[in-house]
Chain A
Amino acid sequence: MKVIDAKGLSCPEPVLLAKQAVAEGEYPFQILVDDETPRENILRFAKNNDHHASLIEKDDHYVIEFIR
């Protein structure tokens, strides 16, 4: 599975990486973030564009998996 590491990147880079991965169309893929703001931005992006994304909380970061 494709994993995109967006940890430590400033807004709006993580959500743009998610958008880019969606444009490439290789599902499923995971995007890793370590801050609440990009986490919310990516989940909102998924919801607004009818993508199915789930959130997994790890010790020091979040994994957002796009199924479709």
Chain B
Amino acid sequence: MKKLTKLAVLLTGAAIGFAAILLVITGNPANMGICIACFIRDTAGALKLHTAAPVQYVRPEIIGLILGSFAISLATKEFRARGGSSPLTRFVLGALVMIGALVFLGCPLRMVLRMAAGDLNAWIGLVGFVLGIYIGTLFLRRGFSLGRTHKLNNFEGAFMPGLQVVLFIMLAVSSPLLAYSEAGPGSMRAPIWIALGLTFVLGIFAQRSRICQAGGIRDVFMIRDLHLFWGNIGILVVAFVFNIATNRFNLGLYHQPVAHSQWIWNVLGLMVVGFGSVLLGGCPMRQLVLTGTGNVDSAITVLGLLVGAAVSHNFGLASSGDVYEEGTHIVVGGGATPGGRIAVIVALALMILIGFFYSKKPKTKISQ
């Protein structure tokens, strides 16, 4: 057995941090070198599942992560089509996680990238992420389980990776069937081959190291194991160093790129993401990587994320960045929408219900 050390997780995190900054330098939006939630949202827009003009673009980063994991899991014979563990519940949880992420304006990966760039709103949001994960572990201690996966036909597992190839070809030939933002975050793009290449390599690293941003914090609570946590440290430190080196570090609450300063909604949005990620067994990035290994439950979760993004934009649940009175820190617009606020509360309530419905008290209490 190949021994995987915490160094592998740390190096994967470092590589993600480095690639994210490189992708910003080559064209992606600020503090958004890689954001799983934002980029699935952009892809949903490109497929016209929503019509928010500033966020429509098939992001090669999502494709790269899935295909990198797919390639390495084939090479190491870890590719195995499996699924059937409460698929519809996973789909709904995926959608809820996306709704929470778009209220905060980022997935856990973008949260760490924003933290590394000095965005204090992300540091505040981290509190919600950790709290959400903690609530999730309470249900795991009660015996929460979405049930077993079963072996499936390998075609089933290869379907999502295959779909990524089709999407990339459509992007590479600028297919008129797709929508492309002309302004806003969706118009800010790293060159497609750089984005694909970098994230393909990251997909390989992530599959081998099993990096999971929610799992890193969950395991600290549940089994006092810091192994996966090092991934978050790797992303944070490397992105921080490169932000400083390239003059991109800006400490503060205000005038942060694609961010709002409503702390309560940053906390609650990420609480939904943390809680949902624990119930799903992994953060959005991990779901992409597992999708590449033939895990159809994760593929269903990714489709849930995609539909959640469409719902967020079609029904006005997604937040927008702060708008300021010119030359001041006075916020005059942006932030969480009324619908988004209600959706976050409903999402938390639904997750608690799901947590109870799928829990059975273990015979022996699992102590800390």
**Residues of A at under 8 Å CB distance from B?**
7-13, 15-16, 19-20, 23-24, 35-37, 39-40, 43-45, 48, 55
Known interface pairs A12-B215, A45-B225; A24-B364 also in contact (CB < 8 Å): yes
Among A10, A16, A55, which residue has the most Cβ atoms of chain B within 10 A? A10
Residue of A whose beta carbon sits closest to that of B208: A36
Distance between B146 CB and nearest chain A CB, rounded to angstroms? 6
Known interface pairs A12-B218, A12-B219, A36-B78; A44-B366 also in contact (CB < 8 Å): no
Task: Collect the chain A residues with CB atoms within 8 Å of residue B110's CB.
Answer: none
Task: Collect the chain A residues with CB atoms within 8 Å of residue B148's CB.
Answer: 7-9
**Residues of B at under 8 Å CB distance from A?**
1, 4, 78, 80, 82, 85, 140, 145-146, 148-150, 210, 212, 215, 218-219, 222-225, 227, 280-282, 297, 362-367
Distance between A6 CB and nearest chain B CB, rounded to angstroms? 9
Known interface pairs A20-B362, A23-B364; A10-B225 also in contact (CB < 8 Å): no
Bound-complex Cα distance A9 to B281 (A): 10
Q: Are A11 and B282 interface neighbours, CB within 8 A?
A: yes
Distance between B6 CB and nearest chain A CB, rounded to angstroms? 9
Query: Which of B1, B146, B210 has a CB less than 8 Å from the CB of A37?
Result: B210
Bound-complex Cα distance A55 to B280 (A): 27
Bound-complex Cα distance A7 to B84 (A): 13
Task: Collect the chain B residues with CB atoms within 8 Å of residue A36's CB.
Answer: 78
Query: Which of A7, A20, A43, A55 has a CB less than 8 Å from the CB of B366?
Result: A20
Q: Are B281 and A11 interface neighbours, CB within 8 A?
A: yes
Task: Collect the chain B residues with CB atoms within 8 Å of residue A9's CB.
Answer: 145, 148-149
Task: Collect the chain B residues with CB atoms within 8 Å of residue A12's CB.
Answer: 140, 215, 218-219, 222-223, 281
Task: Collect the chain B residues with CB atoms within 8 Å of residue A39's CB.
Answer: 1
Q: Are A55 and B281 interface neighbours, CB within 8 A?
A: no
Bound-complex Cα distance A13 to B225 (A): 15
- List of 10 A-B pairs having minimum Cβ-Cβ separation, nearest first: A8-B148, A10-B281, A8-B149, A11-B281, A20-B364, A37-B210, A20-B366, A24-B364, A23-B364, A13-B145
Bound-complex Cα distance A16 to B365 (A): 11
Bound-complex Cα distance A55 to B3 (A): 13
Task: Collect the chain B residues with CB atoms within 8 Å of residue A8's CB.
Answer: 82, 85, 148-150
Known interface pairs A7-B148, A10-B85, A10-B146; A16-B225 also in contact (CB < 8 Å): no
Bound-complex Cα distance A39 to B215 (A): 16
Bound-complex Cα distance A3 to B223 (A): 21
Q: Are B227 and A44 interface neighbours, CB within 8 A?
A: yes
Distance between A37 CB and nearest chain B CB, rounded to angstroms? 5
Q: Are A44 and B225 interface neighbours, CB within 8 A?
A: yes
Q: Are B145 and A10 interface neighbours, CB within 8 A?
A: yes
Q: Are B223 and A15 interface neighbours, CB within 8 A?
A: yes
Q: Are B210 and A19 interface neighbours, CB within 8 A?
A: no
Task: Collect the chain B residues with CB atoms within 8 Å of residue A48's CB.
Answer: 224-225
Q: Are A55 and B1 interface neighbours, CB within 8 A?
A: yes
Write 25 A-B pairs (CB below 8 A) sorted by A numbering: A7-B148, A8-B82, A9-B145, A9-B148, A10-B85, A10-B149, A11-B215, A11-B282, A12-B215, A12-B218, A12-B281, A16-B223, A16-B366, A19-B223, A19-B366, A20-B362, A20-B363, A23-B366, A23-B367, A37-B210, A40-B1, A40-B4, A45-B225, A48-B224, A48-B225
Task: Collect the chain B residues with CB atoms within 8 Å of residue A11's CB.
Answer: 212, 215, 281-282
Task: Collect the chain A residues with CB atoms within 8 Å of residue B280's CB.
Answer: 10
Residue of B whose beta carbon sits closest to that of A5: B148
Task: Collect the chain A residues with CB atoms within 8 Å of residue B150's CB.
Answer: 8
Task: Collect the chain B residues with CB atoms within 8 Å of residue A16's CB.
Answer: 140, 222-223, 366
